[in-house]
Amino acid sequence: MNEPPVEQHPTPPKDPDKGFEDGREPWEWQTRFGPDAKALINREAFIAGAYLAVGLVATFVCAGLSGQSFKIPLCWDIIFNLEIKLLAIFFTGALGGTTFSIKWLMHSVATGKWHVDRFYWRVFVPMVGGVYAVVVMNLFNGGLIGMGNSSSEAPMGTVTALAFLVGYFSDGVSGLLTNVANAVFGTIEKK
């Protein structure tokens, strides 16, 4: 049996002066992705858009309430103290991760490098960015990283800007946290 030929798409030009052009001629607007890929790309775009909308609202609400804390009584006289500032840091870091994820979704689709195997990376980067933001800001507060005043004394705008950057650059922050852990706990050397 003869199989139908696989359609080959030209590789986008690598000319740095052309920026993000993908090698298309003017008026060449049709997608190069098949229907299955288009459906998956649209699913990712919807998820990323939902993350962005929820992240923006949650960030602004929590940043506006950042000076508040709520005591939530649990059982056996245990009281959970919820600091809204921590939620603001988490959501701002997640917003940074979402922005990065959206940027890479757009870039990978436009340049033909999108593939389904990175779906989980693009979906979980925002959550990892939020967690990293909380951890890094607490490391600043504890004096384990950074210089100068702790982030607990910094204005909320500065704290959220740093949290956004931590979320946006969460891949790089992973290496930073490895270095901090090695400095604090040491490394395991093979014998």
Domain boundaries, the chain: 32-182
Q: Give the model's pLDDT for residue 179.
A: 81
Question: Pseudo-torsion of CA 57, 61, 63, 68, nearest 10°?
Answer: -160
Q: Give the model's pLDDT for residue 140.
A: 83
Q: Give the model's pLDDT for residue 191.
A: 47
Q: What is the DSSP letter of 74?
A: -
Q: Give the model's pLDDT for residue 139.
A: 85
- The amino acid occupying position 42 is N
**Which of 109, 98, 107, 70 shows the shortest CA–CA distance to 163?**
98
**How far is Cα 59 from Cα 116, in angstroms, rounded to an integer?**
29
The C-alpha R_g of the chain, in whole angstroms, comes to 22
Cα atoms in the 13 Å half-sphere on the side-chain side of 170? 29
* 10-residue stretch averages of pLDDT, the chain, 191 residues long: 51 53 75 89 94 94 85 82 89 95 91 88 92 90 64 74 92 82 74 47
Query: What are phi and psi for residue 71, nearest 5 degrees?
Result: -95, 120
If you search the block for the tokens 């650059």, which residue do you land on?
169
Are the beta carbons of 127 and 97 closer than 8 angstroms? yes
Q: Which two tokens stand for residue 121?
A: 């990376």
